[in-house]
Homo-oligomer: A and B are copies of this chain.
Amino acid sequence: MPDGWMTDTRSDHARPCGHGGCDEKAGMSTPPLPAPTLRRMPAYLRLLRAWEAEGRDTVSCTHLAEALGLDPTLIRKDLQLAGGSGRPKTGYRLSELVPALEGFLGWSRPSEAFVIGAGNLGLALLHYQGFAAHGLSVVAAFDDDARKVGTTGLGKRVFPMAKLADLVQRMGVRLAILCVPDAAAQAVAEACCAAGMRGLWNFTGARLSLPEGAVVEDIDLAQSLALLSHRLSHSLAAGGRRRSEPTGTAP
């Protein structure tokens, strides 16, 4: 671990960012946190929370590793990157580790999001209860179709697109969950950015190109399906259960 960017390994509840030298010459950006590490975090958190709920006090990487089928050392490093720290023999205190991971992921207090596009998918995400566990609060939806506008059965509101910019400004919502038809995606995404939103969770099949500063994350069903269908068509030969790599805790 020779790199200089891993300095403040130990801030109590959150390693603030993957950039140790944010004060350096802006020359080159320091390497960000490895994506595989970030992807494993939710699995850790889910398990740790479940164990904490069962009344458990501490965990070791060995426990986690067994439960998840991963290498203990890998987990140790991941937890370190997330700002967790444990003690020899006993392991990590759940009461410290869980908040550390939550803080690290930015899931400590919910951030708010708007769903854009109130079709079936948009409504599914608008109403999905599971996001609360992931620090996400979906507060409302927007749609251009006047018939969709109003209040849903579950008490969430659907606004006309024309109100987006105004509500983004007033409420300070930074995250858009994009659920419009593929053909409209690029234009709508640009509108979201123009309205002041910073993050786009893209559930459409379109690949977006967006201005500086926007963060896009695609739920790419085609990718996922490629793995699944390839493995499915070749699973006869290769004995045994074969688990494709995962792609996203869901509705």
Shortest Cβ distance from A120 into chain B, in angstroms?
A: 4
Q: Mark A196-233, 1 if CB is under 8 A from B, else 0.
A: 00110111110100111111111111111111111111
Number of residues from A at the complex interface, CB < 8 A = 85
Are A240 and B212 in contact, with the CB atoms below 8 A? Answer: yes
Are A232 and B198 in contact, with the CB atoms below 8 A? Answer: yes
Which of A135, A179, A214, A228 lies at the interface centre, i.e. has the most chain B CB atoms within 10 A of its CB? A228
Are B230 and A105 in contact, with the CB atoms below 8 A? Answer: yes
Please name all residues of chain B whose beta carbon is closer than 8 Å to the beta carbon of A63 when the two chains form the complex. Answer: none
Q: Check: A151 CB closer than 8 A to any chain B CB.
A: no
CB-CB nearest in chain B for A185: B250
Please name all residues of chain B whose beta carbon is closer than 8 Å to the beta carbon of A26 when the two chains form the complex. Answer: 239
Q: Check: A246 CB closer than 8 A to any chain B CB.
A: yes
Are A179 and B234 in contact, with the CB atoms below 8 A? Answer: no
Give Cα A46–Cα B240 distance, bound, in whole angstroms.
Answer: 32
Q: Check: A243 CB closer than 8 A to any chain B CB.
A: yes
Shortest Cβ distance from A179 into chain B, in angstroms?
A: 7
User: Hey, which bits of chain A sit against chain B, CB under 8 A?
Assistant: 16-19, 22, 26, 29, 32-33, 35, 38-39, 41-43, 46, 104-107, 111, 119-121, 123-124, 127, 130-131, 134-136, 174-175, 179, 182, 198-199, 201-205, 207, 210-235, 237-251
Given known A175-B232, A215-B232, A218-B248, contact A223–B124 (CB-CB < 8 A) = no
Shortest Cβ distance from A197 into chain B, in angstroms?
A: 10
Please name all residues of chain B whose beta carbon is closer than 8 Å to the beta carbon of A205 when the two chains form the complex. Answer: 130, 249-251
Give Cα A26–Cα B204 distance, bound, in whole angstroms.
Answer: 42
Are A226 and B124 in contact, with the CB atoms below 8 A? Answer: no
The 9 A-B residue pairs with the shortest CB-CB distance in the complex, in nearest-first order: A222-B249, A205-B249, A120-B124, A42-B222, A218-B246, A217-B244, A220-B248, A221-B248, A121-B124
Please name all residues of chain B whose beta carbon is closer than 8 Å to the beta carbon of A213 when the two chains form the complex. Answer: 235, 240-241
Give Cα A165–Cα B104 distance, bound, in whole angstroms.
Answer: 45
Are B222 and A35 in contact, with the CB atoms below 8 A? Answer: no
